[in-house]
Amino acid sequence: MTASPTVETLEGLNRRVTLTLNNDEVEAEVRKRLAQVAKNVRMDGFRPGKAPMKMVAARYGGEIRGEVLGDALQKAFGAVVEANQLAVAGYPRFVAGENGAFTASFEVFPEIKLGDFSQIKVNRPVVEVNDADVDRTLEVLRKQRVQYHAVEREGKEGDRVHVDYAGKIDGTPFPGGEAKDFPVILGEGRTLKDFEGSLVGMKAGESKTFDVAFPADYFAKELAGKTATFEATIKSVHEAVLPEVDEAMAQSLGIHEGGVAKLREEIRGNLAREAKRRIHAKVKEQVLNGLLETTDLEVPANLVAMEQEGLMEKAVTDLKARGLKEQDIKLSQEVFEPQARRRVALGLLMDTLIKENSIAATDEQVRAMVDEFAQSYEDPSEVVGWYYQDPSRLKEARALVLEDNIVGWILEKAQVTDEPTPLEKLMGTA
């Protein structure tokens, strides 16, 4: 088969190649493959391999011709790519012309000239975990283990009350406006402020009528901006009782030796690891944003489309795993375009950085990262073994190390400002 290629440079990264196939060679290959199929084909009324060639060609000819043309085009296109040293991004799109001519439209990878990394500015949080941070965490753990005890008094903030209520708008009941033995934790803000506030100060057995104004932006549009009148009866009042920070609490959290001191040590270590993870994520995001901002880059649309498709498939798979039915999942690939474009652009830039600066991930770094992952589990050695049992899992860890090495390499050239930061602010709880 012969090809007379003509390579055209179109707008941006787009290219077009004109390929001409030898029709005689194509037909000869089609006949050859048909003959091979005819030797073993089973068709009604004929013994295996004895069906007339005309019938074999009628049934299988179109499929075989498509295969032959596909193989011929790939071979011809490959020859053009090699001869012209083209760096093809994605897959070509073939369109048939006349007299055995085809056009292959495709994109090439951009030529990348990395920017000035000394212009990248990074604010790096510096955090020291202190006793107050540990105390706050212990308080959260206590609240997670709260127990409610019945009391014979008026309900106040922090109490849990159970209430029967019925609401009406203009004298008419409305959907969702009635409930029996409904639990409300006073002051928690999970119900409307007017509703919750009206229950404060009521005892078990007391009833009350009050108005509640629904906000104009209320999620139930049919209630937004309206005022309802509620009749409510308190069934019971329970006060919150938090566990003491003692050896029993430590044991309930898996600390069987060392008591409260060991518990505090574990909490401090966990907070330090989480702080390190968040600092790393914030710094990494700034570095990658800087990498994109300092380098002009034209991204192949073909690669973006492929990335969009992959992101959408992953999203659909995740939603199915959460129980959604496929027919109920309404997603469009356009939603994933910005994320896909960013991922492709960063991938191209990082590949260039790796090649130009010989950046690599060592086995020791990979093991250190796996060990760090494992520290948050009860049996770290089991987690380490899990990673090293499957090369694909280890490959993921190696890719993360390589990313970290790229970030570290850029940080050495960037303008980095260390900012002392309270842990609460880093965690977004302040």
Residue 63, pLDDT score:
86
For residue 331, the model assigns a pLDDT of 85
Q: Which residue has the higher pLDDT, 140 or 31?
A: 140
- Does 3 score more than 80 pLDDT? no
Q: What is the mean pLDDT of residues 115-126?
A: 95
Q: Residue 351, by phi and psi: left (phi above 0), alpha (psi -120 to 50) or beta?
A: alpha
Determine the Cα angle at 270 with ends 269 and 275, to 5°. Answer: 100
Kindly report the average pLDDT of the chain as a whole number. Answer: 91
Inter-residue contact 323 to 294 (CB < 8 Å) = no
Taking residues 188-209, report their average pLDDT: 95
- 59 versus 222: the higher-pLDDT residue is 222
pLDDT value of residue 97:
83
Residues 316, 128: Cα–Cα separation, whole Å: 41
With a cut of 50, say whether residue 1 has pLDDT above it. Answer: no
Q: What was the pLDDT predicted at 149?
A: 96
Structure confidence by residue, pLDDT tens digits, 55-113: 877 777 788 888 888 888 999 899 999 999 999 999 999 998 877 789 999 999 999 99
What does the pLDDT read at residue 430? 58
Query: How far is the C-alpha of 346 from the C-alpha of 292, rounded, in Å?
Result: 7
- Is-above-0.85 flag for pTM? no
Residue 168 has pLDDT above 60, yes or no: yes
Mean pLDDT of 126-143: 95
pLDDT at 372: 86
Average pLDDT over every residue of 229-254: 94
Confidence bin at 20 (pLDDT 50/70/90): confident
- Of 45-49, 130-134, 237-241, 252-256, the range with the lowest mean pLDDT is 45-49
Q: How far is CA 315 from CA 58, 267, 301, 402, in A?
A: 43, 34, 21, 26
d(CA 131, CA 125): 19
Q: What pLDDT does residue 37 have? A: 78
Strands 147-150, 160-169: parallel, antiparallel or unpaired by DSSP? unpaired
Helical pair 337-357 and 301-321, crossing angle rounded to 10 deg: 120
Please give the pLDDT value at position 6: 75
Q: How confident is the model at residue 306 (pLDDT cuts 50, 70, 90)?
A: very high
The pLDDT, as a whole number, for residue 49 is 67
Judged by average pLDDT, the poorest of 200-214, 269-283, 348-362, 383-397 is: 383-397
Angle between helices 259-294 and 131-144 (to 10 degrees): 110
User: Is 50 exceeded by the pLDDT of residue 418?
Assistant: yes
Average pLDDT score over residue span 278-300 = 95
